[in-house]
């Protein structure tokens, strides 16, 4: 648990990832150099000292890139372990307090050390809690949006069926296609009555029937639009959840350091 003492706030570490961080991209680039099979054109000599990767310029050996690698933890496991550790600390503190003999200097030192660890672990537990809270709040907002669009889908599905039942006269497929095109050209909305009358005259269909077809097409469009929005939210929620799990399972508890 030494890495917790010098670690940054968990939320700032959570945002540190290779997809959006140039510092990590640079780290990944040099690691790739270090681990790739050397070639004749390779500019670096490789070595390791005290756990640090060193790339030495072959043309100028005094020129080096020193990489202190990142440290990773599983945030889910860390959270669980921190809670267990704090329970153990509290038990140890209770034993010290209830000690039948007088508390000596060693006991006070142990108490101070336990108190310090308990404070540190509690702080990290709270920081991880905040990360989880932010994620679940975001998921909840997306779930509410999903429910809203699901209700809209149900609404337009019923209205679409009702509109279709009002249509009593069939029309040629070509005429239906043309009405759909007019609907699209009119920014996906039913045109004004004058335009409906004009279309009806052109297609040789009663205006009342053309209007009914427009209403049905509008409900079909709104149903498909809400369905598309629902699927987009479902996809977004799935992607965010997958990213969250990956970042938690591969959490960078200590940022890499590159010296050159």
**pTM of the full structure:** 0.79
Total of domains in the chain:
1
> Quick one: pLDDT at residue 155?
96
The parent domain of residue 225 ranges over: 140-242
Say how far apart CA 91 and CA 193 lie, in whole Å: 80
> What is the block-wise mean pLDDT of the chain (260 residues), using blocks of 10 residues?
72 74 81 83 86 87 87 93 95 84 79 92 94 94 96 96 91 93 94 94 93 96 97 96 93 86
Do residues 21 and 32 make contact, with C-beta atoms less than 8 angstroms apart?
no
DSSP string, 117-136: HHHHHHHHHHHHHHHHHHHH
pLDDT score for 7: 67
Residue 27 belongs to a domain: no
Please report whether residue 169 resides in a domain.
yes
Per the domain annotation, does 34 fall within a domain?
no
Give the pLDDT confidence score for residue 138 in this predicted structure.
Answer: 95
State the DSSP string of 155-201: HHHHHHHHHHHH--S---HHHHHHHHHHHHHTTSSPPPHHHHHHHHH
Q: Classify residue 102: in a domain, yes or no.
A: no
Is 32 inside any structural domain? no
Strand pairing of 251-254 and 64-68?
unpaired
Specify if 81 maps to a domain.
no
| Structural domain includes residue 170 | yes
In a domain, 174, yes or no: yes
Q: Decide: residue 53, CB within 10 A, 0-12 exposed, 13-18 middle, 19+ buried.
A: buried
């Amino acid at each position: 648990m030494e890495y917790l003492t010098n670690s940054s706030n968990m939320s700032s570490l959570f945002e540190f990832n290779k997809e959006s961080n140039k510092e990590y991209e640079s780290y990944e680039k040099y690691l790739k150099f270090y681990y790739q099979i050397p070639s004749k054109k390779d500019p670096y000599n490789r070595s390791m000292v005290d756990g640090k990767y060193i790339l030495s310029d072959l043309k100028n050996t005094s020129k080096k890139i020193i990489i202190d690698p990142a440290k990773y933890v599983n945030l889910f496991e860390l959270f669980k372990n921190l809670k267990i550790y704090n329970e153990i600390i509290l038990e140890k503190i209770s034993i010290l307090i209830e000690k039948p003999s007088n508390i000596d200097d060693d006991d006070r030192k142990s108490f101070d050390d336990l108190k310090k660890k308990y404070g540190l672990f509690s702080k990290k537990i709270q920081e991880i809690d905040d990360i989880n809270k932010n994620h679940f709040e975001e998921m909840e907002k997306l779930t509410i949006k999903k429910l809203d669009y699901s209700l809209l889908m149900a609404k337009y599905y019923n209205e679409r069926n009702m509109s279709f039942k009002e249509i009593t006269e069939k029309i040629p497929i070509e005429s239906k296609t043309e009405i759909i095109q007019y609907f699209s050209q009119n920014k996906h909305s039913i045109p004004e009555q004058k335009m409906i009358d004009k279309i009806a005259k052109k297609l040789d269909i009663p205006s009342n029937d053309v209007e009914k077809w427009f209403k049905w097409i509008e409900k079909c469009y709104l149903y498909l639009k809400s369905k598309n929005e629902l699927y987009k939210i479902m996809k977004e929620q799935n992607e965010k959840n997958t990213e969250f799990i990956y970042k938690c399972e591969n959490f960078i508890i200590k940022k890499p350091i590159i010296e050159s």
